[in-house]
Amino acid sequence: MATQLERKEYDLTPLRESKLPIIWVLGGPGSGKGTQCDKIVAKYGFTHLSTGDLLRSEVQSGSGRGQKLNAIMEQGELVPLDAVLGLLAEAMLANVTSSKGFLIDGYPRELEQGLTFEKQISECTIILNFEVSPETMTKRLLHRAQTSGRVDDNEETIKKRLDTFSKHSKPVIEHFSNKCKTINAERDPTEIFKDIEACLDSLANINGF
């Protein structure tokens, strides 16, 4: 889809120089990223940035950019890389002086997003990859739909989002396999978090956060 979105320029030097840990949280829609990120923030104090939330608040702002984004999200498709990376960079810069590290939830959605992030911003430290079956994701999303008010939590869009996810996510995991920790996220949230703690505690020993 040829969508024209305004571009802003940023000086990303403070982010590069901060050397803060950067954790990407990958997983399909409804895999439990938001749920686990809340737990990670509570224990480790990282700055949680969900690209979905950043995009939805841009839509809420009523900007022209937001209206174009909403139309794409309603279709269950990926928004253009520039738009999502710009929002992320802006949010990271706003927090860089006080942050202990960044938890980036829902990005990268495709390989190019990951490569461009590392080229323009900084290297990712570790990836938490949530593995869940499409059936479980659908079930959870339909349940979430009862309260979320999200334009994309409906049966038709969920199907498209799952297709978009399965098409684009594999190359990301394969390319970054050396720093990717795959987590069985079919289980109870408490059980899942134990595995995450094991990953992050060993990372803390190495990076000293």
Decide the pairing of beta strands 126-131 and 22-27: parallel
Q: How far is the CB of 203 from ligand ADP (least distance, A)?
A: 21
**Could you say whether residue 140 binds ligand ADP (CB under 6 A)?**
yes
Q: How far is the CB of 30 from ligand ADP (least distance, A)?
A: 4
User: How many residues sit close enough to ligand ADP to count as binding (CB under 6 A)?
Assistant: 15
Nearer to ligand ADP, 144 or 181 (CB): 144
Cα dihedral angle (132, 136, 139, 143), rounded to 10 degrees? -50
Q: Which residues, other chains included, contact 76 with Cβ-Cβ below 8 Å and sequence gap of 6+?
A: 152, 157, 158, 159, 160, 161, 163, 164
Q: How far is the CB of 18 from ligand ADP (least distance, A)?
A: 26
Q: How far is the CB of 179 from ligand ADP (least distance, A)?
A: 20
**Could you say whether residue 159 binds ligand ADP (CB under 6 A)?**
no
Residue indicated by tokens 């994309």: 152
Residue nearest to Mg ion (CB): 34
Residue 66: name its binding partner from Mg ion, ligand ADP, none (Cβ under 5 to 8 Å by kind).
Answer: none
User: CA triplet 182, 183, 185: central angle to 5 degrees?
Assistant: 140
Pick the binder of ligand ADP from 15, 20, 27, 126 (CB under 6 A). 27
Sequence letter at residue 147:
T
SS3 call for 50: strand
**Could you say whether residue 68 binds ligand ADP (CB under 6 A)?**
no
Q: Which residues, other chains included, contact 47 with Cβ-Cβ below 8 Å and sequence gap of 6+?
A: 92, 95, 99, 100, 101, 102, 103
**Could you say whether residue 160 binds ligand ADP (CB under 6 A)?**
no
Q: How far is the CB of 140 from ligand ADP (least distance, A)?
A: 3
Q: Which residues, other chains included, contact 202 with Cβ-Cβ below 8 Å and sequence gap of 6+?
A: none
Q: Which residues bind ligand ADP (CB under 6 A)?
A: 27, 29-35, 140, 143-144, 185, 188-189, 192
